[in-house]
Amino acid sequence: MTSRRLGIDRSPGYGVDRDAEHSFTLDGEAHTGLSGDTVASAMVAAGELPCGPSLYLGRARGIMGAGVEEPNALLHVEPRSPGHAAESMLPATTVELVDGLRASWLQGLGRLDETPDGALYDHTRVHTDVLVVGAGPAGIAAASQAAASGARTMLLDEQPAPGGSLLSSRGERIESTDAVAWARRTVDDARTAAEFTYLPRTTAVGSYDANYVVAVENRTDHLPASERPGVSRQRVWHIRAAEVILAAGAHERPLMFADDDRPGIMLAEAVRTYLNRYAALAGEQIVVATTNDSVYSLLEDLAEAGAPPVAVVDSRPEATPRAAAVLEATGVRGIFDAVVTGSDGDGDAGRLTAVTVHRLDRDDVPVGSVETLSADLLAVSGGHSPVVHLHSQRQGGIAWDDVLAAFVPSAPVARQQTVGAMAGTWSLSRALRTGAEAGRRAAEACGFRAEGADSPSDSPQTRDPLADGPRADLDYGPVRALWLIGAPDAQDPAEWSTHFVDMQRDQTVADALRAVGAGMRSVEHVKRYTSISTANDQGRTSAVNTVGLLATVLGAGHPGQVGTTTYRAPYTPVPFAALAGRRRGELFEPARITNIHSWHADHGAVFEDVGQWKRPRYYPRTGEDMETAVLRECAAARGSVGFQDVSTLGKIEIRGTDTGRLLDRIYTGVFSKLRVGRGRYGLMCTPDGMIFDDGVTLRIADDRYLMTTTTGGAATVLDWLEEWHQTEWPELDVAFTSVTEQWSTVAVVGPKSREVISRIAPELDVSNEAFGFMAFRETTLRNGVPARICRVSFSGELAFEVNVANFCGLATWELIAEAGAPFDITPYGTEAMHVLRAEKGLIIVGQDTDGTVTPQDAGMGWAVSTTEDFIGRRSHSRPDTARQDRKHLVGVLPADGRTLLPEGAQLVGAQTPITPEEGPVPMLGHVTSSYRSAALGRPFGLAMVWDGRNRIGEVVRSPVDGRLVDVELTSPVHFDPEGTRRDG
Amino acid sequence: MLLITCPHCGPRDEVEFHYGGQAHVAYPEDPQALDDAAWAHFLFYRDNPAGAFAERWQHSAGCRKWFDVVRDTVTYEFLTPEGGSR
Amino acid sequence: MAEMLPPHPDFLWRNPEPKSSYDVVIVGGGGHGLATAYYLASRYGITDVAVLEKGWLAGGNMARNTAIIRSNYLWDESAAIYEKSLKLWEELPAELDYDFLFSQRGVLNLAHTLQDVRDSRRRVGANHLNGVDAEFLEPLQVREICPIISIDDMIRYPVMGATYQPRAGIAKHDHVAWALARRCDEMGVDIIQNCEVTGFDKDGDRVVGVETARGRISTETVGLAVAGRSSQAAALAGVRLPIQSHPLQALVSELFEPVHPTVVMSNHVHVYVSQAHKGELVMGAGVDSYNGFGQRGGFHVIEDQMAAAVELFPIFARAHLIRTWGGIVDTTPDASPIISPTEVDGLYVNCGWGTGGFKGTPASGLTFAHTIATGAPHPLNAPFVLERFETGHLIDEHGAAAVAH
């Protein structure tokens, strides 16, 4: 295939460097392109328009656009760097060419790569005064004004270079200079301002409340491989802007006619982009079809490039002055009051060979004899659709403008402006003027003065920036929109089955007509019936055409009466990984570890996730499984002494003269009467009476308490305290401080714990008489570390908790290990702790309770005040909660003495037939906790059982692994019911 | 990402805040004096207007203070522009 | 070449003018409203029914949900109604003669903590006894069902197992609505779009008519099935509901060759995902915290979702988010729905399905139709009446099962 790349004499080639050639492969074949090319432009320059065939019908398709509007040319791109994953569904028109790129065409369906993606992505958050989206002429004018005022200004643009539509033009001049050079210079000038940021290759994908705009910056894909390491591949910008100016441009609409999808049928603006920006001539025998004046610039450019079109097929009844002037100057044949009604192609490859042209009557019906024009390229323009997405995402109104034949912003969004083509302003001079005005207004709204600014466009009203430009500065109108153009005899719906509306979804006018025939009137229904505009091109070339089509079919006056579907973020597809950012692996949610963590890890602990914390679950010795290790750990705690890192328990220090009163309301028990120097166990309920946290609270001083919470509940409880204090009882004198991370806490548990404590705290009288249960003492440890030691027990054993400053945790742990060595002190984890407490019938909130359990249900009525009005109390007397036969906490013992019931196992009555196929089997409750017990010499558990306290002694059954296990219901306290071990 | 004005700290991103639902629902003076229906209404029934809504937020990742605002639940616009009260 | 989805019928429904009176008026032309009308007509012989829709049919949450169907709920009351729903789903494609792409590809609910595992085993055990298919899978079995899930021990919250319901799956939401609408229409039900209800006429404590954007309609029986507007619609009749409405977002990727054979839900890391028939990945995000009727939420919720998705499914790294959207979920204090008579005679409410209404569509319609036709709840929805908030007999699905969707 001969090269269609044009020399500098024929094209400015704004976007490419003719001296820098890149090699790449496409479907395994070697190709070359230029630096600045996209894969699509390189292929256009190679004269190869076909891409992958269509998704469902397998029709030959070709490159149709030159940017994000491309529906056909989708690529699968192999990993660009070592450790990266391949990526699918990238429009070839957006993939910048780099040396060594390997890609293949797709048939509308992507392939996900199993290779782990090792690329780096990051997120950033910024505030700006003025955010301008789009670095076309209007956006540049706006940003330049805003930056010159001193306002912090950001200018985002999806392209590698500023200029927007100017990059597709030629010969345009602004302020006496080449327009593209003007764009570059103006942005460069603005960059000298202290507070200006220009981000190329950055697409604003979403616009949210209060001017929060999310943009994605591509940072490395365009770089040579050697320059990529150390740079994040993509960055997601989260921008909060005081003022937003949207200058996002417009997309051209194709025309719908029979076989409108062949390779060689291309948007006119894309043809112009390839011609001028990429120096690539998309065809040699060119026909242009239009509904408006925009294509006449293309005509001029093609003529100048030495490739004048064969003809222009213009739907309008006669030439506009602009059209007439261009036709005369170029000598191109104009066919007016006419449409393209069909195309012919070349075999399987399908490349366009000819188009058929008909005259139109006043009702848009093709009439008269057909004329066939040979063509290898048809450049189409069915009008232009402003890119209203970001405006619409903020609920900005849009309305149909019959003159422009477009949906344009009609109602503003607060602190946002729309300018340029996006606002329906096709004219360059007006885009520059309104852009500059918008920039000034935005700066002023932020308190900056634009006067005196030394900017190239500082006085757009007094100077026409295009005064010496050679181009006519005209709008695209009038427009004669074409929505439903059949062959002259198109009564049969089948006649419409090659009028493609949505190329990517392979949907045609026939499909849309069928939807209407089925009773559908709403564009939303038609979209869903046909799937038109739901592909990853987001219907950029199909959505408005569908609306126009529907308006015609339904006899609506104009498309505005049909309305659009909702514009949804993101504007362009965004990789999941970019949105995940750094939140992968360890940083997905950083784990919290205690000061003693390294010791646990060094000693082989297996960890458990509890809330955000990593807690040792057990410490297996060589050859031990969990069961063996846990039995050993439990035996040590009951037989001699064990120790556990309990630093993760939540700790909240509460100060103030009303602390006791507050706690009386927060806890179900009474804390105002707690003596200084002592602690008490407390339960908290939600207002509807259900247990939601528990823990021991110490009274440090008259006006000072230290509350402990569950590991997972610490943050919730702190919020809870603050909420009730601030919003219900602000008159109480209390203040809360989270001190979870200020303390390391070690539980020393077992009959020998007193001896261990006496060795580490020589100044402390640890006798039961001097230091009773639920008392605490301040002392200094043997290593000089100040400590608070409490006599609390979650195991029924004699036990102490040693609290030290967090950073002394490891040293204190090691001190205890050393002091306990003669007693073979044994570290134990959460699993042994769970066993020890369950043997005593003590609950774990969230395991034995599930948000539906009252203190009475849990058999903890003893912890509930009968006098104080704590939170949740009223709920305990509702009809359902006051019932005596609710689910109660009980103990369970598998009757065979051997079977370990799975936690979560259901319980059914001994006589209940297990016939779920005949209907639900009544259940009595479920096993909440279940362990093997060293102390009991058998498996045991806890359960919540209907009317359980009145069933103690009953044998029920539990389905386990397909068999039924007899289970005796018992008291929840399995071990030492008299509590003889507590004091040693 | 709403922009919420904390009366103590100024405008901040939504992720710094904790939502508290309807404002001005006082805990009953004497819950025991309420019948089951009245207690149920305190527990479970809250206004849910499509429009202006007096609601509570806590600046949980900031000053940790609760405050009240009026916000339009349809437009998400805060109708108490200088930040909430309390 | 990809295979096109089965074609839709050539005719779906008429667009009639509203009559001046109906035996029953269903307010809300979403899935639940249509299902209610369908069962009223097909099971209870009540065909003089209007379904009033303020916008386009099934354009609310029915058009916005992620279309997951399962019945593996913890509590007996929930399991009963959702299992009935699943059985109805199994019948509906043939009954409605419409291939709405009901695909019983199974649902995995992942467990990431020991407590998740306990809760999962508890739920599986309860499911078995309630006649709901369910099993607990170890991580290696999880990977057999869904090879693309990372069961790597080194991820932040490793997969410790999952519950699996083989009969669960997905369906194509719009098609379900159209299938119901077509049958309703055939049986004489009037589907009236662009017909917002603006008020109710009452005679004492009885409803006697509905004021609409298209005129007054006399009726003595009204069923409200207006997810996202439940509080407002009920308020028009002076009824207050224990409902709070929140934004809920969802999203899709572009089309991919099949990689994901089932449905995966993880409550712990907040992700649920399936690959729909055309090939797009369909995901739900978490509920936005605040009350909102804007049908949109915050982008940080989407980003959270993406982080969780890539963590669990490394293969998704370079999939692309192509579209996000939001619905309005009506939540109740116990995360269970309300299908109930009200203090206004003749006015019935069906609301509060939270994030999980789609799967409930058939049973919701059936039981609501029963309630409307007979004036008293069906045994399946008897536990789901408003009185439970007074007695305290809640069906607390977020407390225990901790499965949100």
**pLDDT value of position B85:** 62
**pLDDT value of position A911:** 95
Burial pattern A777-813, b for ≥16 Cβ within 10 A else e, equals: bebebeeebebbbbbbbbbbbbbbbbbbebebbbbbb
**pLDDT value of position C2:** 86
User: E strand or H helix at A549, and its extent?
Assistant: helix A543-554
**CATH code (residue A701):** 3.30.70.1400
**pLDDT value of position B32:** 94
Domain shared by A581 and A727, yes or no: no
**pLDDT value of position A463:** 46
Determine the average pLDDT of the residues in A815-835.
98
pLDDT at A685 over 90: yes
Cα(A546)–Cα(A555) distance, integer angstroms: 14
Domain shared by A374 and A281, yes or no: yes
In a domain, A912, yes or no: yes
In a domain, A756, yes or no: yes
Instruction: Give DSSP secondary structure letters for A574-589.
Output: EEHHHHHTT-SGGGTS
Torsion over CA: A270, A276, A280, A282 (sign): positive
* Residue range of the domain that includes A626: 597-648+743-837
Phi, psi of A125 (to 5 degrees): -125, 130
Phi, psi of A191 (to 5 degrees): -65, -15
Determine the average pLDDT of the residues in A940-962.
96
Domain shared by A754 and A612, yes or no: yes
Chain C residues touching B46 at Cβ < 8 A? 242, 244
Domain shared by A566 and A638, yes or no: no
Residue type, C197: V
The long-range contacts involving A857-862, CB below 8 angstroms and separated by at least 24 positions, are A857/A886, A857/A887, A857/A888, A857/A889, A857/A944, A858/A691, A858/A888, A858/A889, A859/A888, A859/A889, A859/A949, A859/A972, A860/A683
Chain A residues touching C115 at Cβ < 8 A? 846-847
The last residue of one of the domains, among A325, A349, A381, is: A381
**Residue found by looking up tokens 């939303």 in the block:** A524
Cα(A870)–Cα(C255) distance, integer angstroms: 56
Chains near B, with 3+ CB pairs < 8 A? A, C
B18 touches chain A (CB under 8 A): yes
Cα(C224)–Cα(C346) distance, integer angstroms: 11
pLDDT at A184 over 90: yes
**pLDDT value of position A460:** 43
C315 touches chain A (CB under 8 A): yes
Q: Who's near A178: CB < 8 A, 6+ residues apart? A: A172
User: E strand or H helix at C338, and its extent?
Assistant: strand C338-341
| Structure-block tokens of residue C188 | 């004489």
In a domain, A318, yes or no: yes
* C129, C152, C195, C278: best to mutate for the A interface, most A CBs within 10 A: C129
* C75, C121, C322, C393: best to mutate for the A interface, most A CBs within 10 A: C322
Say if residues A85 and A210 touch (Cβ distance below 8 Å). no
CB pair distance less than 8 Å for B39 and A395: no
CB pair distance less than 8 Å for B32 and A719: no
CB pair distance less than 8 Å for B73 and C333: no
Domain shared by A294 and A443, yes or no: no
Domain shared by A638 and A523, yes or no: no
CB pair distance less than 8 Å for C240 and B19: no
pLDDT at A383 over 70: yes
Closest chain B residue to A394, measured at CA = B75
The last residue of one of the domains, among A366, A381, A396, is: A381
Chain C residues touching A110 at Cβ < 8 A? 254-257, 279, 319
Count of domains in chain A?
Answer: 6
What would you measure as the largest C-alpha separation in chain A, in angstroms? 115
Q: Residues of chain C whose pLDDT is less than 50? A: 400-405
How, if at all, do strands A17-26 and A29-35 pair? antiparallel
Say if residues C224 and C349 touch (Cβ distance below 8 Å). yes
CB pair distance less than 8 Å for C289 and B18: yes
Cα(A823)–Cα(B56) distance, integer angstroms: 55
Closest chain A residue to C322, measured at CA = A573
3-class secondary structure, A557: coil
3-class secondary structure, C64: coil
Chains near C, with 3+ CB pairs < 8 A? A, B
Please tell me which of the candidates C157, C318, C391 has its beta carbon nearest to residue A577.
C318
Chain C residues touching B31 at Cβ < 8 A? none
Angstroms from B66 CA to nearest CA on chain A: 7
Tens digit of pLDDT for each residue in A390-413? 999 999 999 999 999 999 999 999
Tens digit of pLDDT for each residue in A309-333? 999 999 999 999 999 999 999 999 9
A838 touches chain C (CB under 8 A): no
Please tell me which of the candidates B1, B18, B34 has its beta carbon nearest to residue A719.
B18
Domain shared by A726 and A799, yes or no: no
Cα(C19)–Cα(C195) distance, integer angstroms: 12
> Other CB atoms closer than 10 Å to residue C341's CB: what's the count?
18
Mean pLDDT estimate for chain A: 94
Distances (CA, A) of C267 to A316, A517, C75, C284: 59, 43, 18, 11
A124 touches chain B (CB under 8 A): no
Domain shared by A632 and A781, yes or no: yes
**pLDDT value of position C7:** 86
Chain B residues touching A875 at Cβ < 8 A? 39, 43
Q: Is C94 exposed, middle or buried (0-12, 13-18, 19+ CB in 10 A)?
A: exposed
**Residue found by looking up tokens 């799937």 in the block:** A531
Residue type, A32: T
Determine the average pLDDT of the residues in A564-587.
94
Share of chain A above pLDDT 70, in %: 97
* C241, C288, C290, C330: best to mutate for the B interface, most B CBs within 10 A: C290
Please tell me which of the candidates C2, C79, C256 has its beta carbon nearest to residue A111.
C256
CB pair distance less than 8 Å for B18 and A688: no
Please tell me which of the candidates C121, C126, C333 has its beta carbon nearest to residue A923.
C126
CB pair distance less than 8 Å for B2 and A209: yes
Strands (DSSP E) contained in A247-322 are 250-252, 265-267, 286-290, 311-314
Chain B residues touching A879 at Cβ < 8 A? 36
Cα(A218)–Cα(A200) distance, integer angstroms: 8
Chain C residues touching A118 at Cβ < 8 A? none
Closest CA to C108 of C159, C67, C42: C159
How, if at all, do strands A606-610 and A351-360 pair? unpaired
Cα(A178)–Cα(A170) distance, integer angstroms: 9
Provide the pLDDT confidence category of residue A464 given band limits of 50, 70 and 90. low
Say if residues C314 and A117 touch (Cβ distance below 8 Å). yes
B78 touches chain C (CB under 8 A): no
| Structure-block tokens of residue A52 | 């992958």
3-class secondary structure, A441: helix
Q: Is A818 exposed, middle or buried (0-12, 13-18, 19+ CB in 10 A)?
A: middle
C236 touches chain A (CB under 8 A): no
pLDDT at A612 over 50: yes
Query: Bridge partners of B57?
Result: B19, B67
In a domain, A875, yes or no: no
Instruction: Give DSSP secondary structure letters for C298-333.
Output: -HHHHHHHHHHHHHH-GGGTT-EEEEEEEEEEEE-T
Chain B residues touching A240 at Cβ < 8 A? 3, 13
**Residue found by looking up tokens 């070709």 in the block:** A62
**ipTM metric:** 0.96
Q: Who's near A489: CB < 8 A, 6+ residues apart? A: A495
| Structure-block tokens of residue A262 | 């062949």
Domain shared by A655 and A644, yes or no: no
Residue type, B9: C
Torsion over CA: A938, A944, A946, A949 (sign): positive
- Rounded to 5°, the CA angle A699-A704-A706 comes to 60
Cα(B82)–Cα(B78) distance, integer angstroms: 9
> What is the pTM for the complete model shown?
0.95
Domain shared by A268 and A410, yes or no: no
Mean pLDDT estimate for chain C: 95
B77 touches chain C (CB under 8 A): no
Tens digit of pLDDT for each residue in B5-52? 999 999 999 999 999 999 999 999 999 999 999 999 999 999 999 999
Provide the pLDDT confidence category of residue A454 given band limits of 50, 70 and 90. very low
CB pair distance less than 8 Å for C294 and B18: no
Angstroms from A408 CA to nearest CA on chain C: 22
> Other CB atoms closer than 10 Å to residue A673's CB: what's the count?
10
Distances (CA, A) of A402 to A26, A380, C5: 43, 20, 36
Closest CA to A910 of A948, A955, A947: A955
Instruction: Give DSSP secondary structure letters for A792-860.
Output: --SSSS-EEEEEEEGGGHHHHHHHHHHHHGGGT-EE--HHHHHHHHHHTT---TTTT--SS--TTTTT-
In a domain, A216, yes or no: yes
In a domain, A482, yes or no: no
Domain shared by A173 and A245, yes or no: yes
A471 touches chain B (CB under 8 A): no
Domain shared by A609 and A578, yes or no: no
Closest CA to A390 of A538, A526, A532, A550: A538
Tens digit of pLDDT for each residue in A619-677? 999 999 999 999 999 999 999 999 999 999 999 999 999 999 999 999 999 999 999 99
Say if residues A926 and C122 touch (Cβ distance below 8 Å). yes
A118 touches chain C (CB under 8 A): no
Determine the average pLDDT of the residues in A857-875.
94
The last residue of one of the domains, among A711, A741, A771, is: A741
In a domain, A331, yes or no: yes
Query: If contacts are CB pairs under 8 Å, which of residues 49-78 in chain B contact chain A?
Result: 56, 58, 60, 64-66, 75-76
In a domain, A133, yes or no: yes
Cα(A232)–Cα(A581) distance, integer angstroms: 10
**CATH code (residue A136):** 3.50.50.60
Chain C residues touching B36 at Cβ < 8 A? 390-391
Query: Bridge partners of A946?
Result: A887
Tens digit of pLDDT for each residue in C105-141? 999 999 999 999 999 999 999 999 999 999 999 999 9
**CATH code (residue A934):** 2.40.30.110
